Amino acid sequence: MSVTESGSQAPASPLTSASEKVAARLVRPAIYSRHQGRTWLAVAVVAALVPLVVTSGYGYNIAINSGLFAILSLGFYFQFALAGQFSFATPAYYAVGAYTSAWVSNSHGFLLGFIAAVVVVAILGGLTKLLLARSPLIHFAIATLAFSGLVIIVLENWTSFTGGDQGKFGIPPASLFGYQFDTQTKQYYLIAGVVLICTALLLLFERSPAQRDLTFVRDMGLVARTSGLRANYLQVVAFAAGAAYMGAAGSLLGATTGFVDLNSFSSAASVSVALLVLLMVLLGGSGMVWGPIIGAIVLTVLPQVLSSWQNYEQLVYAIAILAVILVLPGGITSLPAEFRARRAKLRQRAQQRAEQRAEQ
């Protein structure tokens, strides 16, 4: 709109309104151009149809493990990709969530056990980040690895809480408002539902102003602090939220297996879990929320597919992962973008060749 000499507003020309629309699109964050809601609905439909394909108990075990690792990977994605905090404390939060839920569920039911696991692990994650707030990135990662080992040692010696070497048995199956998740099919739907809820929360967070502030802190920490943002507060909250996801996965682990064993969280196993979750996020892609889920599914299913290779299983497994990382540095979720970029280059080259021929 423009103002005339008489003070009245003249109607804007079509060219002006069009340029304003283009400018608005340029300013709009890229995350808003993604059709995440449609993708989420499509994933929900596919997850609901999985029991039509999977009919054996072995297949359900793979599906349930994929869901548990997907939740763990989403928690790590929250800490690493969104908050920029590289952590090896995943096994510690996983174990604390499992034992907290088992201890509370025996007397107060699954729902309170689940909530207790999420809250306790979130507080533990927030305290971890708060105590190590001034540590540089690599020092923070090493410190969380030591913290994870310390937590596992405490759990191994706290026999009244963990059950010692015998573990914690007799954990009741999950139940919500009287509905029992006492079969593998029901347990799968429970975990799939939690994965979808966790994903929806992450998608909503990525579209919020808090995520833009967190990205500012992650990429330009010193500038963000001088601009008045509470950088430490944002990182502590984000790290605690990621830890809460891991606590939820631990709670579901006990509810689906009926027991929690320390062998699953031993020193060697804990390092293996931390590296596996890291690899899932990198393989799937840390640029999108779907990357950790895809990575979790691939790295849970792939070893089962390669089991028939016997002595060559680990070799083929390593080569396959290395090939994906080298060909797609951005992970599997970057494949569509890579395909579009290469197609655009091919079109550009074809156009240049056509122009050269026309000139000749």
Burial of residue 114 (number of CB atoms within 10 Å: 0-12, 13-18, 19+): buried
pLDDT value at residue 23: 43
Q: What is the DSSP letter of 34?
A: S
Q: Give residues with Cβ within 8 angstroms of 95, minimum separation 6.
A: 151, 152, 155, 250, 264, 265, 270
Per-residue pLDDT of 38-68, as tens digits, reads: 889 999 999 999 999 988 888 999 999 999 9
Give the CA radius of gyration of the chain.
Answer: 24
Closest CA to 100 of 89, 90, 110: 110
Q: Tell me the percentage of the chain whose pLDDT exceeds 70.
A: 89
pLDDT value at residue 216: 86
Q: Give the number of C-alpha atoms closer than 13 A to the C-alpha of residue 206, restricted to the C-beta side.
A: 24
Kindly list the distances between the CA atom of residue 231 and the CA atoms of 79, 111, 130, 256, in Å, as whole numbers in the listed order: 14, 33, 12, 38
Q: For residues 164 and 344, which has the higher predicted lDDT (pLDDT)?
A: 344
3 state DSSP class of 37: helix
Of the listed ranges 152-156, 158-162, 315-319, the least confidently predicted one is 315-319
Mean residue pLDDT of the chain comes to 84
Distance of CA 147 to the CA centre of its chain: 21
pLDDT value at residue 31: 54
Q: For residues 133 and 128, which has the higher predicted lDDT (pLDDT)?
A: 128
Q: Give residues with Cβ within 8 angstroms of 334, minimum separation 6.
A: 285, 287, 328
Per-residue pLDDT of 177-233, as tens digits, reads: 888 998 999 999 999 999 999 999 999 998 888 888 888 888 887 787 788 788 888
Per-residue pLDDT of 251-292, as tens digits, reads: 999 999 888 888 877 766 777 888 889 989 988 988 889 999
Q: For residues 26 and 266, which has the higher predicted lDDT (pLDDT)?
A: 266
Question: Distance between CA atoms of 360 and 349, rounded to whole angstroms?
Answer: 17
Query: What mean pLDDT comes out for the span 70-96?
Result: 92
Q: Which of 17-21, 166-170, 280-284 is the most confident on average?
A: 280-284
Question: Distance between CA atoms of 251 and 233, rounded to whole angstroms?
Answer: 27
Given pLDDT bands bounded at 50, 70 and 90, which one contains residue 73?
A: very high
Kindly list the distances between the CA atom of residue 303 and the CA atoms of 44, 58, 300, 318, 360, in Å, as whole numbers in the listed order: 25, 14, 6, 10, 57
Query: What mean pLDDT comes out for the span 304-333?
Result: 79
pLDDT value at residue 62: 93
Closest CA to 61 of 301, 314, 310, 302: 301
pLDDT value at residue 5: 47
Given pLDDT bands bounded at 50, 70 and 90, which one contains residue 248?
A: very high
pLDDT value at residue 331: 86
